[in-house]
Chains A and B, each alone.
Chain A
Amino acid sequence: MSSTIHNISIDCHATYALAGFWAQVFDCPRQPDDFPGDPEAMLLPPGGPEVLFIAVPEGKTVKNRLHLDLQPADRTRAEEVERLLGIGATLLADHVGPTGGGWVVLADPEGNEFCVLGNAAERAAAAAARAAAAVSEPA
């Protein structure tokens, strides 16, 4: 054994508001001791790891070098994107391909990029379509 991922930390301005957004993303409750103006807020999404929001003075200036990829459980990618746009996400780019593979890039209310992938069935269907296309290509 070595290390496990204890938490994912996100620098932000408004910890409480941003944690509120992500609590809706993951459908997990806020921590009872988090309050507006708190320098830190934490969420415990089902399946983990913890997500910690840390107040920093500086603004976001460039595309984040680390981001999260989310996989819907019982919604399609399109349904999940629509839900997330409805709770305050912003659409940045749509990379869904003709075979149904790909992803959609969104941003949270502070501009942090994240992706929505296909659900398990969509990913399997896209992989099968890619394999079928490869087989049908002339040698």
Chain B
Amino acid sequence: MYPRIRNISFDCHDTYTLAGFWSAVLGYARLPEDVPGDPEAALLPPDGATPNMFFQAVPEDKVTKNRVHICLEPVDRTRDEEVDRVLGLGASMVVDRRRTDGTGWAVLADPEGNEFCVVRSAGERIDTTVEDQA
């Protein structure tokens, strides 16, 4: 057995607020012991199998495009519905790469500027190429 990804770890300023945003995006519950001002916060997925989300306070600011990001797949919504939902939760649009033919994705940023993508739901994807899955 080889290692598994236990956490996707975010450097940030405000662990509690950022964890709250991602809790709403992913539907993961906060840990009861996490409080505002905590140097760390974590979110555990309900399935217990996919990686935890982990947030750690750092003094430095985000200065450039993140080299690592996550791409989200809507479960019971369309891509466009999910984009609208996360914008309502406090995300901002970075680049809209959705195409008129229905393919493509949207690049958003969380409240601390961390880029992430929203891709099509499984039901919206027809082609199976890597490019079209994105």
Report which residue of B2, B7, B69 has the largest number of chain A beta carbons within 10 angstroms of its beta carbon: B2
Q: How many residues of B contact A (CB 8 A)?
A: 48
Inter-subunit contact A6/B69 (CB<8 Å): no
Please tell me which stretch of B33-41, B73-81, B94-102 contacts chain A, meaning at least 4 of its Cβ atoms lie within 8 angstroms of it: B73-81
Inter-subunit contact B70/A7 (CB<8 Å): yes
Q: With a CB–CB cut-off of 8 A, which chain B residues contact A63?
A: 11, 60
Name B1-44 residues within 8 Å CB distance of A: 1-12, 24-27
Assess whether A136 is interfacial by the CB under 8 Å rule.
no
B contact face: mostly helix, strand, loop, or mixed: mixed
**Given contact pairs A46-B4, A71-B3, A1 touches B50 in the complex (Cβ within 8 A):** no
- Which one of A10, A61, A69 contacts B64 once the chains associate, using CB atoms below 8 Å? A61
Q: How far is the CA of A4 from the CA of B82 in the complex (A)?
A: 11
Assess whether A19 is interfacial by the CB under 8 Å rule.
no
Inter-subunit contact A9/B71 (CB<8 Å): yes
Assess whether A130 is interfacial by the CB under 8 Å rule.
no
Give 10 pairs: A residue, B residue, CB < 8 Å, sorted on A. Answer: A1-B75, A2-B26, A4-B73, A8-B70, A49-B50, A62-B64, A66-B68, A66-B69, A69-B7, A75-B3
A contact set with B: CB distance below 8 Å: 1-12, 25-27, 33, 40, 42, 45-49, 52, 58, 60-75, 80, 112, 115-117
Q: With a CB–CB cut-off of 8 A, which chain B residues contact A48?
A: 50
Q: With a CB–CB cut-off of 8 A, which chain B residues contact A112?
A: 67-68
Q: How far is the CA of A107 from the CA of B54 in the complex (A)?
A: 19
Inter-subunit contact B5/A69 (CB<8 Å): yes
Q: How far is the CA of A66 from the CA of B69 in the complex (A)?
A: 7
